Each structure stands twice: as structure tokens, then as C-alpha cells.
Amino acid sequence: MSSQTTSFPVITKTVPTFYFIGVTTAKSSIMKVFPLWMQVLGRPEIVLEGMDLKIHDTAEAYRAAVLQIKNDPFSIGGLVTTHKIDLLTAARDLFDYLDPCAQRCNEISSISKLEGRLEGHAKDPITAGLSLDAIIGADYFARTGGEVLCFGAGGSAIATLLHLINKPSVGDRPPRFVLVNRSAARLENARAMVENLTTDIQIEYVQNADPLRNDALLASMPAHSIIINATGMGKDTPGSPITADGLFPLHAIAWEFNYRGELDFMHQALAQRQSRAVRVEDGWLYFVHGWTQVVAQVLHLDLTPEIFARLESAAASVRAPAS
Ligand SMILES: NC(=O)c1ccc[n+]([C@@H]2O[C@H](COP(=O)([O-])OP(=O)(O)OC[C@H]3O[C@@H](n4cnc5c(N)ncnc54)[C@H](OP(=O)(O)O)[C@@H]3O)[C@@H](O)[C@H]2O)c1
């Protein structure tokens, strides 16, 4: 197993350090939330450190991030956002254990250590799922006839699809899930995952980055459909996958995966709250579920509903008002 890199030396930490591997980590609410959570959990000595990597960064940069955690005793683990697929692709051989979801989805959001082993977990199928379930409730698709249109086919989008495929009750599965992505590679990754599963969901793969074509896809969705922005546009990159003229289906749920940034897609949806009866959700709950799951994994704690409630309440106390 290779564990060498020359350009990025491992930094020896003197306090327990939890990493946040993202794009613009300093701007995340977790910087304020994390110290509060460590107080709640009785671990105030643990500090959070951001590692900003470029979108689709070099394999060397991803391997260096993983090696820092693997080889430094005080680096206890971390949460990965945006880079979930790219990081695992570049550094898969550095892990001693990958959970079944990570193996199936080819992505990880959690890096932790147990008894000397470096472990990777894909928490998104759990956290995207917990958030989606809280938004739509039971039997949504049977009740409404809605479908799903998801812009972006990265780690979080794939996790959402997997969560829906795994729903045991037919009323909790959409009849159709349209997955739109700029590059073909991400769609192929999704297709490869789905081919190993059995599902009655009709999954359509659309390679596209033209907002006008996305508008046409939006217009083709039935009422009550769930329209997801999982592209990172409006936070990681400017803009929105649709134009200002894109019409949401009546009674649609517009789910923006982010909760900070320009959030253009969310504002486009908000403008249709009255005219199209669009319900708009942002990524705050997803953020809280995502982080609590990874903190629990890295710290090896049992995330009971009581502990989750205390952490959720601490996070809410420092949530910035929506812009
Ligand atoms: N609230 C939360 O806690 C939370 C949790 C999870 C994710 N998120 C956010 O959700 C976003 C996605 O996360 P992720 O981990 O899935 O990231 P990711 O793996 O980078 O996926 C983003 C995908 O969107 C595609 N894309 C970008 N622009 C596009 C466009 N105009 N049209 C179609 N596809 C486009 C990219 O395609 P290419 O392959 O061509 O680059 C990429 O496959 C990030 O901004 C992340 O911060 C938030």
C-alpha cells in the first residue's frame, strides 16, 4: 500500500485536529458551530481546521490531505464535502476500510481512525436521506405523483438517488428520477452504481450544462416534483443550472443543497412561491445531519436522538440569518 508523497509534508499537530476538506471552508457556519458542539460533547480540546482544495484538484493534493490524517497521530479525522468522489478516486489505496456505501457510490464524506486503521465512510446516503425524509414525509410520491429532477450527479446527488432506490415502500420511490450533469464521467459513475442494484425507478441520464435545456427539462416535470440543485452553482461556482425564465412545476419542492452563498437557484424558486406554489428548502438541515453523522463517526460516539437535538439546537443558535 503506497503512502508516500513528496510535495506535501505531513504536519505534526499538537492538539487533536478535525479537518474540514472543502472549497471555501472558512465561510462555513461549522467554524462557529464546531466549538459549541465540542463543548456539548465534553471534548473542547478538539479543534477544527479547514483544508481548501480546488474543485477537481490534483490527485497529489487529495492524497496529501488523506496522508495528513493517516500519518499524524493528532489528526483524528475529517469531513469531506464537494471532493467526495475525486478524493476517494485519488486516494482509495490509502484506506484500510471503506464501508459498503463508500464502495458502492465511490465516494466518502467521513475519514476516521479506528485501532490504527484509516476508515472511509459514505454518510451521504444517510444524511441526504434523513434530510429528504424530513422534507417530504412518508408516501410522498404515491400521494402526489411527483418525480425528481436533479441537477448535478456528484456525491450528494448519487446519495439521494441511492436513498430513494433503497426505500422499501413503493409510495416512497419516485416513478422517475432525471439526473443531469455537465460531464459524462459522473453520469457513468451513477449508471455503474445503478446497474448493480435492482430498482423500479426509471432513471434518465442527461449530459447537459446548457441552462436553456435545463429549463425545458424543468418544464417537462409533473406537478409536485422535487427539483434539486446539487451542482454547487450559487455557492462553489457562480450562477444557477436554470435561467431566470425557467418555470418550476406547480407545487414543486425546490431543494437547494447549500444554505450559504449567492444561492441563485433558491432565489429563482422563491420568486415562484406564489405564482407556482413552489415550496423552497435549503441545505441547513442537510448540513446539520451531515456534520453530526461524521463527528459521531470520528469521535466514535453514539448519536442518540437526545444528543442530536442538543447539537441541532447549538447549531441553530449561531445560524446566520438568510441573505
Ligand atoms: N448542506 C449541506 O450540508 C450539503 C451536503 C452535501 C452537499 N452540499 C453541497 O451540494 C453541492 C454538491 O455537492 P457534491 O458533493 O455532490 O459535489 P460534487 O461531487 O462536486 O458534484 C457537483 C456536480 O455538479 C455538476 N455540475 C456543475 N455544474 C453543473 C451544471 N451547470 N449543470 C449540470 N451539472 C453541473 C458537476 O459536474 P462535473 O463532473 O462536470 O464537474 C458535478 O458532478 C456542493 O456545493 C456541496 O457544498 C451541501
Query: 114: domain CATH number?
Result: 3.40.50.10860
**Binning pLDDT at 50, 70 and 90, where does residue 104 land?**
confident
**Binning pLDDT at 50, 70 and 90, where does residue 5 land?**
very low
Domains identified in the chain, total number: 2
Residue 4 lies in a domain: no
**Which among 158, 257, 263, 289 is the best mutation to test ligand 1's pocket, defined by most ligand atoms within 8 Å of the CB?**
257
**Binning pLDDT at 50, 70 and 90, where does residue 169 land?**
very high
Statement to judge: residues 312 and 222 lie in one domain: no
Statement to judge: residues 104 and 226 lie in one domain: no
- Distance (angstroms) between ligand 1 centre and the Cα of 138 equals 26
Statement to judge: residues 144 and 238 lie in one domain: yes
Statement to judge: residues 136 and 211 lie in one domain: yes
3-state secondary structure 95-153: CCEECHHHHHHCCCCEEEEECCEEEEECCHHHHHHHHHHHHHCCCHHHHHCCCEEEECC
User: Which atom in ligand 1 lies closest to the alpha carbon of residue 124?
Assistant: 6
Taking the C-alpha atoms of residue 258 and residue 313, their distance in angstroms, rounded to an integer, is 19
What does pTM read for this prediction? 0.87
Residue 321 lies in a domain: no
Residue 299 Cα to chain centre, angstroms: 20
Statement to judge: residues 101 and 206 lie in one domain: no
**What confidence tens digit (pLDDT) does each residue in 226-278 have?**
999 999 999 989 999 999 999 999 999 999 999 989 999 999 999 999 999 99
- Distance (angstroms) between ligand 1 centre and the Cα of 154 equals 5
Statement to judge: residues 116 and 135 lie in one domain: no
Q: Would you say the CB of residue 233 lies under 6 angstroms from ligand 1?
A: yes
- Are 155 and 193 in contact, with CB atoms under 8 Å apart? no
Range of the domain at 193: 126-282
Statement to judge: residues 154 and 272 lie in one domain: yes
Residue 137 lies in a domain: yes
- Distance (angstroms) between ligand 1 centre and the Cα of 237 equals 10
Statement to judge: residues 115 and 184 lie in one domain: no
Q: What is the DSSP letter of 299?
A: H
Residue 229 lies in a domain: yes
Q: Whose CA is nearest to atom 39 of ligand 1?
A: 183
Region for 42 from its dihedrals, namely left if φ exceeds 0, alpha if ψ lies in -120 to 50, beta otherwise: left
Averaged pLDDT for residues 178-187: 96
- Distance (angstroms) between ligand 1 centre and the Cα of 256 equals 11
Q: Would you say the CB of residue 230 lies under 6 angstroms from ligand 1?
A: yes
- Distance (angstroms) between ligand 1 centre and the Cα of 222 equals 24
| Distances, alpha carbon 56 to alpha carbons 27, 49, 85, 124, 214, in Å | 20, 21, 9, 19, 23
**Which among 29, 81, 135, 207 is the best mutation to test ligand 1's pocket, defined by most ligand atoms within 8 Å of the CB?**
81
Statement to judge: residues 301 and 277 lie in one domain: no
Statement to judge: residues 260 and 155 lie in one domain: yes
pLDDT score recorded for residue 321: 66
Closest among 81, 91, 152 to 122, alpha carbons compared: 81
For residue 285, is pLDDT > 90? Answer: yes
Least confident of 3-7, 118-122, 269-273, 292-296: 3-7
Statement to judge: residues 141 and 234 lie in one domain: yes
Statement to judge: residues 264 and 289 lie in one domain: no
Residue 1 lies in a domain: no
Range picked from 3-12, 89-98, 188-197 for highest mean pLDDT: 89-98
The residue among 323 and 153 whose pLDDT is bigger is 153
